[in-house]
Amino acid sequence: MSNEMLNHVSEANASVRLGPVQQLIDGRWVDSASGETLAVESPANRKVIAQLPRGGAEDVDRAVSAARKAFTAWKSITPATRGKLLLRIADEIERQAEPLARIIAHETGNALRTQARPEAAQAAETFRFYGGLASELKGDVLPLGDDMLSYTRREPIGVVGAIVPWNAPVILCAIKIAPALCAGNTMVLKVAEDAPFGGLFLAAICQQFLPAGVLNVVTGFGIEVGAPLAAHPGLGKMSFTGSTAVGRGIMAAASERILPVSLELGGKSPVIVCEDGNEDRVVQGVAMAMRFTRQSQSCTAGSRLFLHESIYDDFVEKLVRQMGSYKIGDPLDEATDMGALINRKQFNRVCGYIQDGLDNKDVELLTGGLPPTSGPLAEGYFTVPTLFRSTSNTWRLAQEEIFGPVLVAIPWRDESDVLRMANESHYGLAGYVFTRDTARGIRIAHQIDSGFVQVNQGKGQILGQPYGGFKQSGLGKEFSLGSMLDGFSRLKTVTVNLDI
Ligand code: NAI
Ligand code: MG
């Protein structure tokens, strides 16, 4: 990346060099058609990081036209050539990983060491993974005898519309851009208004290697620029990550034109700890599954904890100690484990859930509670890890996605009861089981109604393994070869009579 692109020194923190703060349309960095902007603030101190173009329908139109124009040439390049470009992009992301990670930490409030650096590294790996899979975009031949040639071919769909949220903004961009472009599509990506700069920095790296118009990025509010994108007649496919409520609207808009959609939505994933799970490694696994070091702003978070009653008190004591061990503070500080929530709306929402727990006579606060109202943490949207004891799986805190570090621990006795409770949810994204009896762990895993279940660990998505939710957690898979083939290409059958 040229130094020119890195010229924007943040006022809030001089150690963060932003890349472009404009939209990318047809290979050029541009303001919104209206000239309007919106302020993006740092969650850690509420200071304005930079102004962002407040895009709208006209910007979407321009971006989709550019992507349509670029499609003809891009789809004609061989997959192997496109794959090579992705591999060069991966190398460049790796070279720029540190500035990218600092942008992520600054704009999301996610801690640099625990979250932002791994995210930047994973973005590079994502481009490398899909770049290496380009030659898998192949078809089959059906043997019908010497006089017939009948085969399938994988074709790109056209212009892919992509909308991403702010919680892991760069990896969520990468997981859409890399497979979509590898398969020969072009893209109009809408980055999140709360954390747009990591995605724009990533786009700037991509743009060094891509023809103009192959990747376009629009910015602004969901309703003003996201909705016109989702409704645009020029799209061939829509890929959305975010809330279930908005996902529903995306699907409704797509139904007008029978547009294929993939949706990666919310979760309220169960964590089941069996009687033999009263161990430190399990405590750590549970804490990791809950993603405390991302302030639990993760769709995959294991946010309903089912503890066997025989170990409940002892386990909770250990967990409370673990939850109190995180250093909370400036996301850019190397010592920080846990940063701030993204914005005031989410902060107020999470505090509302905590207040609800405090007001509920049937539940007990075990640690945490409402965030401090004075001192350094009050300067940003910081919250503290919070644990409630509850016997019910049906109240609001046990059913709704909180997207903050608020965990509910529910005791269980019989396996059938815990499985019933685990599956008592509209969501079905992830699940976690902890037991030394691996056969039992697998049995339970098979009965959890979720798309991604882990036994004896609480880690994140794995490149190569299809990731995606059941029930209202979504539609379609990401992170795998299959997701590129099924999600970003279409299959055509060609049958040729050779007997002429
Ligand atoms: P959101 O779903 O409103 O935002 C996600 C993306 O969609 C953003 O880029 C936004 O600008 C865009 N968007 C919003 N309204 C739109 C519309 N009408 N048409 C097209 N695009 C639109 O999520 P939000 O408001 O940031 O967070 C609310 C809740 O959603 C969270 O508390 C959490 O429960 C859930 N969420 C889930 C995520 C996941 O990874 N599955 C990520 C972010 C939020
Ligand atoms: Mg919203």
- Please name every residue paired with 305 in a beta bridge, in sequence order, or none if there are none: 271, 409
The verdict on whether 274 is a catalytic residue reads no
pLDDT confidence bin for 2, thresholds 50/70/90: very low
> Pairing between strand 141-142 and 159-163?
unpaired
Q: How far is CA 180 from CA 88, 106, 193, 284, 456, in A?
A: 16, 28, 22, 36, 33
Q: Which of 62-71, 183-192, 364-373, 391-400 is least confident? A: 391-400
The verdict on whether 299 is a catalytic residue reads yes
User: Does 15 or 450 have the greater pLDDT score?
Assistant: 450
Q: Closest Cα to atom 24, ligand 1: which residue? A: 243
Distance CA 214, CA 120 (A): 22
Q: Which ligand is nearest to the CA of 194?
A: 1
Contact predicate 1/157, CB 8 Å: no
Distance CA 248, CA 174 (A): 23
Long-range contact pairs involving 14-17 (C-beta distance under 8 Å, separation at least 24) = 15/102, 15/332, 16/49, 16/99, 16/102, 16/103, 16/105, 16/106, 16/332, 17/99, 17/102, 17/103
Give me the residue label for tokens 């993204």: 342
Contact predicate 109/41, CB 8 Å: no
Contact predicate 404/383, CB 8 Å: yes
Average pLDDT over residues 242-248: 97
Based on the number of CB atoms within 10 Å of its own CB, is 61 exposed (0-12), middle (13-18) or buried (19 or more)?
A: middle
Contact predicate 103/16, CB 8 Å: yes
Q: How far is the CA of 277 from the centre of ligand 1 (A)?
A: 35
Residue-wise pLDDT tens digits, 175-209:
999 999 999 999 999 999 999 999 999 999 999 99
Is the per-residue pLDDT at 8 higher than 50? no
Is the per-residue pLDDT at 3 higher than 90? no
Q: How many CB atoms lie within 10 A of CB 147?
A: 10
Q: How many CB atoms lie within 10 A of CB 78?
A: 12
Q: How far is CA 442 from CA 88, 307, 319, 456, 468, in A?
A: 40, 18, 24, 10, 19
Which of 225, 246, 402 maximizes ligand 1 atoms within 8 Å of its Cβ, making it the mutation to test the pocket? 246
Average pLDDT over residues 473-478: 97
Please give the pLDDT value at position 13: 54
| Interior/surface letters 192-215, b for 16+ CB within 10 angstroms, e for the rest | bbbbbbbbbbbbbbbbebbeebbb
Q: How far is the CA of 379 from the centre of ligand 1 (A)?
A: 25
Q: How far is the CA of 283 from the centre of ligand 1 (A)?
A: 30
Average pLDDT over residues 361-368: 96
Q: How many CB atoms lie within 10 A of CB 74?
A: 20
Q: Which ligand is nearest to the CA of 249?
A: 1
> Pairing between strand 386-389 and 364-367?
antiparallel
Q: Which ligand is nearest to the CA of 57?
A: 1
| Interior/surface letters 12-45, b for 16+ CB within 10 angstroms, e for the rest | bbeebbbbbbbbbbbeebbbbbeeebbebbbbbb
Q: Which of 308-312, 343-347, 390-394, 494-498 is least confident? A: 390-394
Is the per-residue pLDDT at 6 higher than 80? no
Contact predicate 237/184, CB 8 Å: no
Atom of ligand 1 nearest to the CA of 172: 40
Pocket of ligand 1 (CB under 6 A): 163-165, 167, 190, 192-193, 222-223, 226-227, 230, 241-243, 246, 249, 264-266, 299, 346, 401, 403
Atom of ligand 1 nearest to the CA of 246: 2
- When the pLDDT of each residue in the chain is averaged and rounded to a whole number, the result is 96
Q: How far is CA 121 from CA 57, 99, 115, 378, in A?
A: 34, 12, 10, 31
Which of 243, 351, 472 maximizes ligand 1 atoms within 8 Å of its Cβ, making it the mutation to test the pocket? 243
Average pLDDT over residues 15-26: 97
SS3 assignment for 117-173: HHHHHHHHHHHHHHHHCHHHCCCCEECCCCCEEEEEEEEECCEEEEECCCCCHHHHH
Closest to 284 in 3D by CA, of 335, 237, 326: 326
Distance CA 239, CA 173 (A): 11
Please give the pLDDT value at position 303: 97
Q: Closest Cα to atom 32, ligand 1: which residue? A: 403
Q: Given the residues 41, 92, 264, 478, select the one marked as catalytic.
A: 264
Closest to 345 in 3D by CA, of 166, 220, 116: 166
